[in-house]
Amino acid sequence: MNTLLDHIVRSCFVWFSVLLFGILTVYGNDKPDDADGLITHPELAGIPKTPVAMDVKIQVNKIYGINTVDETYSVDGYFVASWYNDAFDKAAQDIRIYENNNADEIIGKLIWIPAFEFINVIGNRNVSNKQIIIHPNGKITYNERFNAVFTTEMNFRKFPFDSQKFVVQLEGFSYDTNTLFFSEVTPELYYTQGEITEEWKITGKKAFISAHKYSHLNEKDPISFSRYNIEITATRSVVYYFWQFIFPLFLIISISWSVFWIKSMSDQLATSFTLMLTLVAFNFNASSILPNLPYRTFIESLITLGYLSIFINLVMIVIGNSILKKKSKASYKNLMRYCRYIFPIAFFVLTILQAIAFLY
């Protein structure tokens, strides 16, 4: 009797398990549109059939690590892109937010998010956090916190009185203007600091949209890509360079004129050659903070002026001691007396002319 009862109980348990499994199989696969918190409309993942207008904003939190030799700088900031997808009128009615790994899961599989590329970046940009916000009206917002090393061509002609532009350029990597373009509305640019570092002060900033054509994809008919540009203009603080470069340079050149008060020719030559070597070492120090340039900078023009001043000092000393001093001591003394005034005046006049030529 007990054996029969056990058999009946076991049979009922097996049939109940099979029935429950069947119910779960049939109804469990019928997932809602929001299964696992992801939108499952396949039309949202495809490439838009009509050009998408994107509003772009970049907030620069910090510019640091400025390397004038390599012409590079690091930027930490936020990048936000917003656009509309008409297919979302079929989607859920609530705002949906996906972050980091969840955002990566839906990109390209369940929703179309274009790959964005910073054009003037060196290496890869580091994305510490990313976010996708889907609004009920079909608006999609992509937001990321990025950090990267950028480069741009710098002009050092006025160094150390120069201003530089720190540029960030953004494009859609795979989609030309037939699929994606940045809106022609006034772009917004934010910068959270008034100074980049103690050495640089911001004097201007602007953002604008342009188009850039690439021929490597189609040589006969170059493809145009929309580009978002921001430029932050900063002026170098001269205080450090004045005390480290300009003031010592003027001292070296001024000391070189002391030879016109020295009576001994050997002392005159020793002083001039010593100062010439000092100026050479000074030039090496100044060159170490700049890249190899095909043009001259303002500080280099001053150093060259110093070379010429000391060289002409030597010429005057040789002429005075070897020619005039032998003929007439009075002529030699007059030459030295004239040089005491002519050299400083000529140097400062030439310095002003150099400043006008380079800085204006």
Q: Would you give per-residue pLDDT tens digits along the chain (360 residues)?
A: 545 555 554 555 545 554 555 554 444 444 434 434 444 444 455 667 788 888 988 888 889 999 988 999 999 999 999 988 776 655 456 788 899 988 888 887 778 888 899 999 998 999 999 999 988 888 889 999 999 999 999 999 999 999 999 999 999 988 888 888 898 655 566 666 656 777 888 888 888 899 888 877 676 778 899 999 999 999 998 998 899 889 999 999 999 999 999 888 889 899 999 999 989 888 888 888 888 888 889 999 999 999 999 999 999 888 888 776 667 777 888 888 899 999 999 999 999 999 999 988
Using an 8 Å Cβ cutoff, are 196 and 126 in contact?
Answer: no
Q: Give the span between the Cα atoms of 325 and 89, in whole angstroms.
A: 100
Q: What is the model's pLDDT at position 207?
A: 87
Q: What is the DSSP string of 212-267?
A: EEESSS-SSSPEEEEEEEEEEEEEE--HHHIIIIIHHHHHHHHHHGGGGT---HHH
- pLDDT at position 104: 87
Give the integer Cα–Cα distance in Å for 252 and 256: 6
Q: Are 200 and 66 spatial neighbours (Cβ–Cβ below 8 Å)?
A: yes
- Residue 31: the pLDDT is 40
Q: Are 71 and 151 in contact (CB under 8 A)?
A: yes
Is the Cβ–Cβ distance between 130 and 271 less than 8 Å? no
Which H/E stretch holds residue 307?
A: helix 298-319
pLDDT of 325 reads: 65
SS3 94: coil
CB 65 within 8 A of CB 149: yes
